[in-house]
């Protein structure tokens, strides 16, 4: 099957370029509830997992590298999600290269004794450019197989195959989906150029999609993951452009004054909202998919900027100075009713509505430095997630709601960092020269 | 008498004919000379002479002429300085503030006067912010600042069609340092002539 010329069918089909099969216990068992994860704060306790090097099943010498790399991709993926803790390979008592990778070959006590609650075994078959992977997830305490998957594809697709397995695992334990297929867009400033760059969810494979000497800002993914709206001064003034991934961009929104902070409105088939100052005052407008003004959403003298919509598209969070200092407000689109969300602090901006709809991340500035905060949409349970680490700005949620990407000056120049939605596990997303700012996380299935 | 008259007529005709002949010859000569180098020299000499005459004339009326010329030069210099002042003198703002200070109003009152004196000039007002605060909000704040300058000028009688505004948010600091002094310099309105 893997010899079908699918690889020639273009990028859009890449996702289908490998096949997978599942086996394991019957479905009813698979859906049994596990209490590995504390749902209210899943990052408080990480599940300890053992991931031994995969076993090479054909011509071991040529595959040893691929096997080691495959296991590393798996460990990195699970670690990145924030839910799992990988037990160091030096502690392992059993060598799968000798014993085998199936349940009957394993002594689970050897794994539970070193603290592993889960064990993942992998087998790798390699036929030229093609590769077959078998991955099995075991509960070491119960001594049983939770699920197993078989993947076939090109060696170049190995990362995607293994991330598919990671995704299944995260969904199994948290019910959350979409992280491992997602991508992140951001602005990179380097050597006088501003570029729009897109990378995988974990910072891998950065790719520049628009580069310009002109100021370029505010990239925002469309809900279908195929378009990116952004602001550029390419024609001398701040206008909004839309980049179709895989095609040229075209000027879309260019009214007098600023055309900034575009965002897409969920469930409207491509409508955007943005701040325009065409009336002489910065107000938020709803725009048709061809960039015409559909409707003015805010009506208050002074700055209104940075719209972010609830997942069902019925409410909009935004920043307004109507009370004297920049604060986050929520407007119900149907009735037009507006309520103030943030009261603590005198400079709260950049709201980002969580994909689960219950919380809003934003940046709160004090003494010239901003920190990322999260607050319930009812205004309760405010949490400050960063502190004493430079200026932390522009939060964006991963599509499964488990992680937040943001920019920080904690090590000097502004760079991108990722943390869990609870503020734990703060780490750099990628390492590249120049400044990286204004990240936005794609929806679950971003186009390539 | 008749003979005398006839002789006179003949003489007149002869004179006229010879005159015509001479003039046409002279014309021919002129043309040929212009084609050669001689006459150019002559023209240049004439020019020199005229120049000498001019200098002599100037020397004669030097007091008045010099004064007038100096006055014109001074006016030009003043004009140039006024234009440079218009372009180079920025208006500064407080943190997260787009309202005009008293000093800003004084500066803008001068600028309005200059714009009234130069009705052909069109101006772009740039609004800028310091690095503190977030890029999104600062982009709006920069526009707010440019608009508040524009409003002042329009209220002072300048046609709004002559004034364009643009915000650069925090993207174009004049001083890249991270301190109060740099921030104060960066929170500004700039003026650019079209």
- Model confidence pLDDT, tens digit, residues A184-235: 999 999 988 999 999 999 999 999 999 999 999 999 999 888 899 999 999 9
Inter-chain residue contact B139 with A238, CB threshold 8 Å: yes
Q: Which of A174, A194, A229 is the last residue of a domain?
A: A174
Whole-number percent of chain B with pLDDT over 70: 69
Neighbours of A150 (CB within 10 A): 17
Say if residue B94 is in the same domain as residue B176.
yes
* pLDDT tens-digit series, residues A88-107: 988 888 887 777 778 778 88
Neighbours of A172 (CB within 10 A): 16
Asked if the structure places residue B39 within a domain, the reply is yes
Residues ≥6 apart with Cβ < 8 Å to A286: A265, A271, A272, A273, A293, A294, A295, A296, A297
pTM of the complete model: 0.82
Q: Which of B20, B41, B69 is the last residue of a domain?
A: B69
Inter-chain residue contact A319 with B133, CB threshold 8 Å: no
Say if residue A156 is in the same domain as residue A264.
no
State how far residue A257 is from chain B, nearest Cα, in angstroms.
6
Inter-chain residue contact A438 with B135, CB threshold 8 Å: yes
Answer whether residue B88 shows pLDDT above 80.
yes
CA dist A32 → A48, A146, A406 (Å): 20, 10, 36
Inter-chain residue contact A257 with B165, CB threshold 8 Å: yes
Residues of chain B found within 8 Å of residue A350, distances taken between Cβ atoms: 134, 136-137
Of chain B, the end-to-end C-alpha distance in Å amounts to: 87
Instruction: Determine phi and psi for A22, rounding to 5 degrees.
Output: -115, 150
DSSP strand pairing (B123-128 vs B188-193): antiparallel
Distance CA B174, CA B168 (A): 12
DSSP strand pairing (A403-408 vs A19-23): unpaired
Nearest CB partner across the interface for A370, out of B134, B144, B169: B134
Inter-chain residue contact B136 with A237, CB threshold 8 Å: no
* pLDDT tens-digit series, residues B1-22: 445 665 666 555 555 555 555 5
- b/e for A2-39, b at 16 or more Cβ within 10 A? beeebbeeeeeebeebbeeeeebeeeeeeeeeeebbee
Distance CA A248, CA A282 (A): 29
- Total domains present in chain B: 2
Distance CA A316, CA A351 (A): 10
Say if residue B116 is in the same domain as residue B171.
yes
Say if residue A156 is in the same domain as residue A217.
no
Say if residue A91 is in the same domain as residue A222.
no
* pLDDT tens-digit series, residues B59-77: 556 788 888 888 999 999 9
pLDDT value of position B169: 96
Say if residue B111 is in the same domain as residue B58.
no
Domain that holds residue A331: 183-441
- Total domains present in chain A: 2
Say if residue B124 is in the same domain as residue B62.
no
Say if residue A210 is in the same domain as residue A122.
no
Tokens for A51? 């991931």
Say if residue A278 is in the same domain as residue A417.
yes
State how far residue A278 is from chain B, nearest Cα, in angstroms.
11
Asked if the structure places residue B74 within a domain, the reply is no
Give mean pLDDT in consecutive 10-residue pieces for chain A, a chain of 448 residues.
Answer: 37 44 45 51 82 82 75 94 92 80 83 93 87 93 92 91 94 91 95 94 94 95 91 94 76 87 90 92 91 91 93 96 95 95 96 96 94 95 94 96 96 96 94 96 72
Asked if the structure places residue A209 within a domain, the reply is yes
Asked if the structure places residue A85 within a domain, the reply is yes
Residues of B with CB under 8 A from a CB of A: 96, 132-137, 139-141, 143-144, 147, 165-169, 171-172
Q: Which of A174, A209, A229 is the last residue of a domain?
A: A174
pLDDT value of position B44: 47
Distance CA B192, CA B146 (A): 12
Asked if the structure places residue B83 within a domain, the reply is no
Chain centre distance of CA A289: 25
Distance CA A54, CA A69 (A): 9
Inter-chain residue contact A218 with B135, CB threshold 8 Å: yes
> Can you tell me the ipTM of this complex?
0.84
Say if residue B126 is in the same domain as residue B40.
no
Distance CA A22, CA A171 (A): 15
CATH of the domain at A211: 2.120.10.30
Closest Cα in chain B to A305: B137
Inter-chain residue contact A258 with B143, CB threshold 8 Å: yes
Residues of chain A found within 8 Å of residue B135, distances taken between Cβ atoms: 217-218, 393-394, 437-438
pLDDT value of position A10: 41
Q: At what angle do helices B102-117 and B38-88 cross, to 10 degrees?
A: 150
DSSP strand pairing (A348-353 vs A315-320): unpaired
Asked if the structure places residue A446 within a domain, the reply is no
Say if residue A201 is in the same domain as residue A131.
no
Confidence of residue B30 (pLDDT cuts 50, 70, 90): very low
CATH of the domain at B146: 3.30.1330.60
Confidence of residue B165 (pLDDT cuts 50, 70, 90): very high
**CA torsion, points A104, A106, A108, A111, in degrees to nearest 10?**
-160
Closest Cα in chain A to B179: A368
Residues of chain B found within 8 Å of residue A303, distances taken between Cβ atoms: 137, 140-141, 144
Answer whether residue B189 shows pLDDT above 60.
yes
Mutation site, A219, A274, A282, A361, interface B, largest B CB count within 10 A: A282
pLDDT value of position B27: 45
Say if residue A352 is in the same domain as residue A403.
yes
Closest Cα in chain A to B147: A280
* Degrees, nearest 5: CA angle A396-A306-A392: 45
Instruction: Determine phi and psi for A121, rounding to 5 degrees.
Output: -110, 145
pLDDT value of position A9: 38
CA dist A250 → A195, A225, A254, A415 (Å): 16, 17, 11, 29
State how far residue B165 is from chain A, nearest Cα, in angstroms.
6
pLDDT value of position A91: 86
Q: Which of A174, A209, A238 is the last residue of a domain?
A: A174
Of chain A, the end-to-end C-alpha distance in Å amounts to: 23
* pLDDT tens-digit series, residues B123-139: 999 999 999 999 999 99
Say if residue A392 is in the same domain as residue A290.
yes
Asked if the structure places residue A99 within a domain, the reply is yes
- b/e for A173-191, b at 16 or more Cβ within 10 A? bbebebbbbbbbbbbbbee
Nearest CB partner across the interface for A347, out of B133, B144, B165: B133
Q: Which of B41, B69, B97 is the last residue of a domain?
A: B69
Residues of chain B found within 8 Å of residue A237, distances taken between Cβ atoms: 166
Nearest CB partner across the interface for A303, out of B141, B168, B171: B141
For residue B100, the 8-state DSSP code is P
Mutation site, A240, A276, A277, A391, interface B, largest B CB count within 10 A: A277
Domain that holds residue B141: 89-193
Residues of chain A found within 8 Å of residue B169, distances taken between Cβ atoms: 217
> Can you tell me whether residue B125 is helix, strand or coil?
strand
pLDDT value of position A289: 80
Using alpha carbons only, how large is chain B's radius of gyration in Å? 35
Distance CA A16, CA A19 (A): 7
Secondary structure, 3-state, chain A? CCCCHHHHHCHHHHHHCCEEEEECCCHHHHCCCCCCCCCCCCCCCCEEEECCCCEECCCHHHHHHHHHHHHHHHHHHHHHHCCEEECCHHHCCCCHHHHCCCHHHCCHHHHHCCCCCEEEEEEEEEECCEEEEEEEEEECCCCEEEEEEEEEEEHHHHHHHHHHHHHHHHHHHHCCCCHHHCEEEEEEEECCEEEEEEEECCCCCCEEEEEECCCEEEEEECCCCCEEEEEECCCCCCEEEEEECCCCCEEEECCCCCEEEEEECCCCCCCEEEEECCCCCCEEEEECCCCCEEEECCCCCCCEEEEEECCCCCEEEEEECCCCCCEEEEEECCCCCEEECCCCCCCEEEEEECCCCCEEEEEEEECCEEEEEEEECCCCCCEECCCCCCCEEEEEECCCCCEEEEEECCCCCCEEEEEECCCCCCEECCCCCCEEEEEEECCCCCCC
Residue A228 · residue A446 · CB < 8 Å? no
Tokens for A379? 């205004």
Asked if the structure places residue B184 within a domain, the reply is yes
CATH of the domain at A79: 3.40.50.10070
Distance CA A89, CA A54 (A): 12
Say if residue A77 is in the same domain as residue A189.
no
């Amino acid at each position: 099957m893997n010899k079908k010329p699918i690889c020639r069918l273009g990028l859009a089909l890449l996702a289908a370029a490998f096949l997978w099969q599942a086996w394991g216990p019957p479905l009813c068992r698979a859906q049994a509830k596990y209490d590995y994860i504390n749902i209210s704060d899943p990052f408080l306790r990480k599940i300890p997992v053992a991931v031994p090097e995969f076993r090479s099943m054909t011509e071991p010498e040529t595959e040893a590298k691929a096997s080691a790399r495959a296991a590393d991709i798996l460990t990195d993926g699970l670690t990145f999600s924030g839910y799992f803790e990988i037990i160091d390979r030096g502690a392992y008592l059993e060598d799968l290269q000798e014993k085998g990778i199936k349940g009957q070959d394993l002594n689970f006590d050897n794994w539970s004794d070193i603290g592993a609650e889960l064990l993942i075994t992998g087998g790798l078959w390699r036929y030229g450019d093609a590769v077959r992977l078998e991955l099995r997830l075991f509960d070491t305490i119960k001594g049983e197989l939770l699920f197993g998957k078989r993947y076939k594809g090109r060696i170049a697709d190995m990362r995607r195959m293994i991330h598919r397995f990671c995704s299944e695992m995260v969904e199994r334990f948290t019910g959350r989906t979409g992280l491992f297929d997602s991508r992140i867009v951001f602005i990179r400033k380097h050597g006088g150029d501003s570029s729009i760059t897109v990378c995988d969810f974990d910072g891998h494979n950065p790719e520049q999609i628009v580069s310009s000497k002109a100021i370029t800002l505010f990239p925002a993914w469309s809900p279908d993951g195929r378009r990116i709206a952004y602001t550029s001064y390419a024609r001398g003034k701040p206008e909004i452009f839309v980049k179709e991934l895989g095609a040229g961009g075209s000027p879309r929104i260019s009214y007098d004054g600023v055309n900034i902070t575009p965002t897409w409105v969920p469930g409207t088939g491509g409508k955007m909202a943005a701040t325009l100052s065409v009336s002489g005052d910065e107000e938020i407008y709803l725009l048709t998919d061809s960039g015409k003004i559909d409707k003015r959403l805010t009506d208050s003298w002074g700055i209104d900027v940075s719209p972010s919509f609830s997942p069902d598209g019925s409410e909009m969070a935004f920043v307004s100075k109507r009370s004297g200092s920049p604060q986050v407000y929520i407007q119900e689109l149907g009735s037009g009713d507006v309520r103030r969300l943030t009261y603590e602090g005198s400079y709260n901006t950049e709201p980002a509505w969580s994909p689960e709809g219950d919380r809003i991340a934003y940046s709160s500035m004090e003494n010239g430095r901003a920190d990322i905060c999260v607050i319930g949409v009812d205004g309760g349970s405010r949490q400050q997630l960063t502190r004493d680490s430079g200026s932390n700005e522009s939060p964006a949620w991963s599509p499964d709601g488990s992680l937040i990407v943001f920019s920080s000056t904690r090590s000097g120049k502004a760079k991108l960092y990722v943390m869990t939605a609870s503020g734990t596990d703060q780490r750099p997303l990628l390492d590249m020269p120049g400044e990286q700012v204004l990240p936005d996380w794609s929806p679950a299935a971003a186009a390539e | 008498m008749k003979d005398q008259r006839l002789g006179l007529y003949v003489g007149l005709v002869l004179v006229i004919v010879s005159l015509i002949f001479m003039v046409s010859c002279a014309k021919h000569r002129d043309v040929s000379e212009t084609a050669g180098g001689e006459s150019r020299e002559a023209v240049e000499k004439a020019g020199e002479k005229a120049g000498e005459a001019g200098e002599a004339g100037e020397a004669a009326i030097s007091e008045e002429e010099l004064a007038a010329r100096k006055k014109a030069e001074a006016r030009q210099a003043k004009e140039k300085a006024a234009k440079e002042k218009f372009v180079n003198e920025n208006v500064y703002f407080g943190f997260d503030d787009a309202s005009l200070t008293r000093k800003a109003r004084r500066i803008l009152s001068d600028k309005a006067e200059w714009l009234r004196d130069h009705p052909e000039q069109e101006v772009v007002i740039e609004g800028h912010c310091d690095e503190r605060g977030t890029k999104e909000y600062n982009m709006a704040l920069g526009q707010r600042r440019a608009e508040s300058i524009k409003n002042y000028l329009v209220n002072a009688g300048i046609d709004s069609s002559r004034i364009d505004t643009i915000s650069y948010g925090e993207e174009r600091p004049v001083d890249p340092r991270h301190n109060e002094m740099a921030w104060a310099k960066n929170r500004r309105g700039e003026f650019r002539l079209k």
